[in-house]
Amino acid sequence: MVDKSDITVHPKEVIERILSMELVRVTERAAVSAARLRGHGNEKAADQAAVDAMRRELNKLPINGTIVIGEGERDEAPMLFIGEKVGNGTGPKVDIAVDPLEGTTLCAKDMPGAIAVMAMAQAGSLLYAPDVYMDKIAIGPGYPKGVVDLDADPADNIRALAKAKGVAPHEITALIMDRPRHADLIAKVRATGASIRLITDGDVAGVIFCAMPQETGIDIYLGIGGAPEGVLAAAALRCVGGQMQGRLILDTPEKVERAKGMGVKDPKKKYEMDELASGDVIVSATGVTDGGLLAGVKFKGDVIETETIVYRSITGTVRKIHGEHRELAKFKLD
Ligand code: VTB
């Protein structure tokens, strides 16, 4: 008898499953290239190395890809700019969001948490976000829909989350980026008795931490970070079923115009997670430096080791992949 589970293709399957593994290759190579410059104090060089490697690998893939979240807009970024076409042009039409080196400062200073990350989704399903700030809120899976809200007072959010979790507010831990702009937010959260973990960079991983509170100790992400990072984080969180909302911060007429040019009709819109990233999404992230989500690249002489996490929304599958790269080590390729 044929086991049907072997031959069933998910009805909404648009992106070939096989591409998940291809994305692993892309972020692995970007991570290795950036890691060669780890701790050298040169953010630009590390970022450029990751960008070059990512682009080279993306162009080998059997896709008709368009970069929708990239290294900036056409004039300011040498490559992987928003609108750039990638792939060998033979496969499905897909949207691609990249952050070849998320946490350039973390890499340059060899601090924990730098990753190479990208997401791929069927065309039209990732928000075309300009490189502005985004106000974000995120929690993990298992809570009633709408238990927290971007527009609610932060203290009320903490209390509502604590109630839903069945704990006191002081047992809740919020993750917030350590920035002067968050002084008021931090004060309000502290006033509830909740604990705060402050991070210097890397809020893609920060949001993802909410999805595994038992490992990370993080219950909620709050605050303002990059919009591109927001879309990447939403794509990953969607795969494991948390909740997230985000609003672009378009605080000058110039930013409103730029966003309009990218299809944003309502500059004040509060985006739900599945509006930031919808459809069939795959997200891959490889560690550059050691961090809470992933181990960093290890150079062990004749072998280079990587750790990658891959998320897929259609099935909610999460895989951690340990890579051992011998040819890369032998030929000192970047
Ligand atoms: C975050 C964080 C990034 O930028 O989105 C942040 O994830 C936001 O910008 O790692 P500011 O640094 O201006 O606050 C990074 O820290 C760097 O890209």
pLDDT, one tens digit per residue, over 87-104 is 999 888 999 999 999 999
- Give SS3 for 72: coil
- Token pair for 98: 């990249």
User: Which residues form ligand 1's pocket by a CB distance below 6 Å?
Assistant: 102-103, 177, 179, 201-204, 225-226, 229
- 202 alpha carbon – ligand 1 mean position (Å): 6
pTM given for the model: 0.94
- 225 alpha carbon – ligand 1 mean position (Å): 6
Fold of the domain spanning 133-276: D-Maltodextrin-Binding Protein; domain 2 (3.40.190)
User: Packing angle between helix 43-58 and helix 19-35, nearest 10 degrees?
Assistant: 150
At residue 7, does pLDDT exceed 60?
no
Query: Which atom number of ligand 1 is nearest to the Cα of residue 204?
Result: 7
Mutate to test the pocket of ligand 1, among 71, 201, 288 (most ligand atoms within 8 A of CB): 201
The residue whose C-alpha atom lies closest to atom 15 belonging to ligand 1 is 201
The residue whose C-alpha atom lies closest to atom 18 belonging to ligand 1 is 103
Residue 294 CA, distance from chain mean position:
13
- 204 alpha carbon – ligand 1 mean position (Å): 9
Largest CA distance in the chain: 65
Mutate to test the pocket of ligand 1, among 176, 177, 185, 207 (most ligand atoms within 8 A of CB): 177
At residue 1, does pLDDT exceed 50?
no
* Residue 161: predicted pLDDT: 98
At residue 42, does pLDDT exceed 70?
yes
* Domain range list for the chain: 8-126+281-331, 133-276
Task: Report residue 13's pLDDT band, with 50, 70 and 90 as the boundaries.
Answer: low
The single-letter DSSP state of residue 62 is: S
- 190 alpha carbon – ligand 1 mean position (Å): 23
Which is nearest to 249 in space by CA: 150, 334, 328, 165? Answer: 150
* Residue 255: predicted pLDDT: 94
- Per the prediction, the chain carries an average pLDDT of 93
CA atoms of 149 and 145, how far apart (whole Å): 10
- Token pair for 130: 């300009």
* Residue 253: predicted pLDDT: 96
More confident residue, 333 or 54: 54
The residue whose C-alpha atom lies closest to atom 1 belonging to ligand 1 is 225
Token look-up 């181990």 returns 295
Q: Judge whether 269 and 292 are in contact, CB under 8 Å.
A: no
CA atoms of 181 and 321, how far apart (whole Å): 37
- CA dist list (Å): 44 to 13, 35, 50, 113: 38, 13, 10, 17
Which is nearest to 99 in space by CA: 63, 47, 175, 57? Answer: 47
Q: Judge whether 328 and 306 are in contact, CB under 8 Å.
A: no
The residue whose C-alpha atom lies closest to atom 8 belonging to ligand 1 is 225
- 201 alpha carbon – ligand 1 mean position (Å): 5
Residue 316 CA, distance from chain mean position:
16
- 254 alpha carbon – ligand 1 mean position (Å): 21
CA atoms of 315 and 214, how far apart (whole Å): 22
- 15 alpha carbon – ligand 1 mean position (Å): 30
- The stretches of 84-165 forming alpha helices (DSSP H) are 104-108, 154-165
Q: Which residues lie below 8 Å from residue 181, measured CB to CB, with a gap of 6+?
A: 224
Task: Report residue 272's pLDDT band, with 50, 70 and 90 as the boundaries.
Answer: very high
Token look-up 């998940």 returns 20
Fold of the domain spanning 8-126+281-331: Fructose-1,6-Bisphosphatase; Chain A, domain 1 (3.30.540)
At residue 109, does pLDDT exceed 80?
yes
- 32 alpha carbon – ligand 1 mean position (Å): 21
CA atoms of 262 and 162, how far apart (whole Å): 38
Q: Which residues lie below 8 Å from residue 118, measured CB to CB, with a gap of 6+?
A: 23, 26, 27, 54, 96, 97, 98, 99, 100, 232, 283, 284, 285
Which of 9-13, 178-182, 212-216 bottoms out in mean pLDDT, i.e. has the lowest?
9-13
Q: Judge whether 148 and 157 are in contact, CB under 8 Å.
A: yes
Token look-up 């031959």 returns 7
CA trace torsion 201, 220, 214, 27 (10° rounding): -40
* Residue 72: predicted pLDDT: 77
CA atoms of 233 and 160, how far apart (whole Å): 23
pLDDT in tens, 117-157: 999 999 999 999 888 999 999 999 999 999 999 999 999 99
Query: Which atom number of ligand 1 is nearest to the Cα of residue 105?
Result: 17
- 102 alpha carbon – ligand 1 mean position (Å): 8
Mutate to test the pocket of ligand 1, among 105, 117, 207, 229 (most ligand atoms within 8 A of CB): 229
Query: Which atom number of ligand 1 is nearest to the Cα of residue 206?
Result: 7
For 14-36, what is the mean pLDDT? 90
